[in-house]
Structure 1
Amino acid sequence: MSTGVVRHKSDDIVREPDEGPDVILVVDDDDDIASFVAFNLKVHGFEVIRARDGREALEMIETSRPDLAVIDWMMPNMDGVELTRRLRAEPLTSALPVIMLTARSMTVDKVVGLTAGVDDYLVKPFDTAELIARVSSTLRRNKEFREVSPLTGLPGNARVRREIADRMKAGGDYSVGYIDIDRFKSVNDVYGFDRGDEFITALARSLHRAVATSGRPPVFLGHIGGDDFVFICTPDQVLPLTKRAVTDFEHSADELYDAEDAQRGYIEVPDRRGNKQRAALVTLSIGVAESKTTGRRFNDPRVVMAVASEMKKVAKSQPGSYVAIDRRGLENADD
């Protein structure tokens, strides 16, 4: 594995627009309760849409796509339990989190709701603090569940950004590494996507093993899609962590190739004309952004990720597995 320290001049990062507020659908035929719930949700920064019963809610969901629904149990035309069953039966709404408003506190009633697919309950009467706490926690759980990669079990983009934001608020030094597998496309082209997934899970396992020996503070790992991974750690953890991960992964990857390809050190990839081109075995490119860089301060997680991505491109320009660390502004940095 090679490592490099690169001073990169460009500071022009395109920022994505901020995400809007979560949209909450309130479904209740009692105007007083619906108004109370809607008012308090708006005060705490949520966007609110309202429906008077289950049928109206289903029509509204088709156009509004809320992030969560607060549904009263007892309603005319279609009660909350039946509405929840219908939401769970439709692919587009099956994952919509639902909080049920109910005067029923008996265990048997809760079992009915949970069986229908309710995520949480608010038993009347309830206060504002409980309402906001349950809405916020249900949204958070749902988002974290959706963000987890089904292939590796690691959190995705949104959770990665929150982790970087938390490190920013904490004020200590941190590093963000962006990893991907070099020549991964050639693996898919020759062996198919199932074998490609094995390479991705092998990298996830290698990263876990490297993290296990990285000491304190704990290292954060994320999987942001395909063969792209992220780690967040302290600056002094970067090189030991990446060295262990690269060594472990390259050993694991060799065993995933067909024996003949692993022995000769390349695979033959057919081009569009049917000619075979040689592709070297996979390696890792790792770009790292560091918070302790002088001359500027990161104030947006997306900027940190963009810098790490830039450094990953620098790493890809080098032979073999390579770590490119951005330390622009450090006048006495060792190259």
Structure 2
Amino acid sequence: MSTGVVREADELGVDPEERPDLILVVDDDQDIASFVEFNLKMQGYEVIRAEHGQEALQLMEDRRPDLAVVDWMMPGMDGVELTRKLRAEPLTSALPVIMLTAKSMTVDKVVGLAAGVDDYLVKPFDTTELIARVQSTLRRNKEFREVSPLTGLPGNARVRREIADRMKAGGEYSVGYIDIDRFKSVNDVYGFDRGDEFIGALARSLHKAVTTVGPPSIFLGHIGGDDFVFICAPDQVLPLTKRTVTDFEQAADQLYDPSDAERGYIEVPDRRGNKNRAALVTLSIGVAQATVDGRKFTDPRVVIAVASEMKKVAKSQPGSYVAIDRRRSEAEPEE
């Protein structure tokens, strides 16, 4: 297998080792900061500290924390102003913030929430509450990051975990990688909003197909753009993909301008103003399979790489096409 395919798997966000979450504690009260740091480290978190808002901003130029625990009352830049600055910067706009405060008045909480605070810890607080708030805030943030806002489907990290879980279970499974052929031509002619409608149509077609195929449960993921992943039992692959292709192609026809749909192609202008014909969209689907008598996998990256490799095979064929890897092992291709 080419190393280029494995590189593509890395670009999907595959990370061989999960590092502990990094938490930034910002508080000018050293006793409280030490208390928070000690208890977070006892739970396995990595912790960095800053005494005031400006120092926190400087730290974040070199480190990228997963969460910030910030005191409200600090000299110079207080916690609310720091939160506003974090929300205004693209690299830190999604950073979850827990505010430490002696203020329990509703109006004060409204001010913090308006600035972008995710949760509160009202002093005095105990270790149990601190850990519970940190864990729940991190979990919500990760779940939000892992879900595509366009389709509502899980993203890269969740896909990797699902494949790893199937590996540990030791049973048979298939991983399919889907994308829309000539999707760029849709964006070029109709714009990104129309392109999003095609992506949404594919997500709905996959959902309908899953409902039709029935148990065992089928996992769907959206890893970005027009790329989707499904994980299912090997005998579900053909019923699932056949229904998806049929439903999507019908839905896609309705998304083209009527004149384009009727003649069966769109005209895509090039840089010189010439118009080139692009056929209507179809689907390319590559499938990697782990079966009792067939291929075995030990790394989610390899599974994704094989599915991606087979998707390239599918793209070399006319129309919507499903290419299934039937090699018996990673070392012994089937003749």
TM-score by length of 1: 0.83
Q: Provide closer, same or farther for how the CA distance between residues 125 and 334 of structure 1 changes in structure 2, counting only shifts above 3 A.
A: same
C-alpha contact 1:293 1:329 (8 A) present in aligned 2: no
Equivalent residue for 1:37? 36
Cα distance, 1:304–1:293 mapped onto 2, change above 3 Å: farther
TM (norm. structure 2) is 0.83
**Does the 8 Å contact 1:293/1:328 carry over to 2?**
no
> Partner letter of residue 231 of structure 1?
F
Q: Which amino acid aligns with 2:140?
A: R
More off after superposition, 243-252 vs 313-322: 313-322
**Whole-Å Cα distance in 2 between the matches of residues 76 and 327 of structure 1?**
65
Larger deviation, residues 106-115 vs 202-211: 106-115
Q: Which residue of 2 aligns with 1:3?
A: none
Partner Cα distance (2:321, 2:255) in 1:
21
The answer (yes or no) to whether the contact 1:41–1:48 under 8 Å persists in 2 is: yes
Post-superposition Cα deviations, 1:283-321, rounded to whole Å, max 9, x if no partner, equal 101111123265653233222211111111111112211
What letter is aligned with 2:20?
P
**Secondary structure of 1:254 counterpart:** helix
Greater length-normalized contact order (CA 8 Å, ≥ 6 residues apart):
1
Matches of 1:178 and 1:52, distance apart in 2: 48
Counterpart CA distance in 2 for 1:180 and 1:274 is 28
Judge conservation of contact 2:327–2:334 (CA < 8 Å) in 1: no
Shift of 1:175: 1.8
Provide closer, same or farther for how the CA distance between residues 334 and 208 of structure 1 changes in structure 2, counting only shifts above 3 A. Answer: farther
Match of 2:125 in 1: 125
| SS of residue paired to 2:268 | strand
Question: Which stretches in structure 2 are left out of the alignment for 5+ residues?
Answer: none
Cα RMSD (Å) of the superposition?
A: 3.0
Query: Who is 1:4 aligned against?
Result: none
Query: Mean Cα displacement is larger for which, 179-188 or 169-178?
Result: 169-178
C-alpha offsets along residues 93-140 of structure 1, whole Å, 9 cap, x if unaligned? 33210112345556565445434432123343322x543443233223
Aligned: 1:307 with 2:306: yes
Give the letter aligned to residue 225 of structure 1: G
Tell me: CA distance 1:191–1:87, structure 2 relative to 1, closer, same or farther (3 Å). closer
Q: Which runs of no fewer than 5 residues in structure 1 stay unpaired?
A: 1-8
Given that 1:182 and 1:282 are in contact with CA atoms closer than 8 Å, whether structure 2 keeps it comes out as yes
Aligned residues: 324
In the TM superposition, 1:95-244 aligns within 5 A as 95-103=94-102, 110-123=109-122, 124-127=124-127, 129-244=128-243
Paired with 2:110 and 2:192, the residues of 1 have a C-alpha distance of 42
The letter for the 2-side match of 1:121 is Y
d(CA) in 1 for partners of 2:125, 2:187:
57
In structure 2, the residue matched to 1:247 is 246
Please report how far the alpha carbon of residue 70 of structure 1 lies from its aligned counterpart in structure 2 after TM superposition.
0.9
State the shift of 1:25 in Å: 0.5
- Deviation, structure 1 residue 89: 4.2
SS at match of 1:318: coil
Q: Deviation of residue 10 (structure 1)?
A: 6.2
Helix, strand or coil: the match of 2:60?
A: helix
Are 2:328 and 2:334, in contact at CA under 8 Å, matched by a contact in 1? no
Residue 160 of structure 1 and its aligned partner are, at CA, apart by 1.7
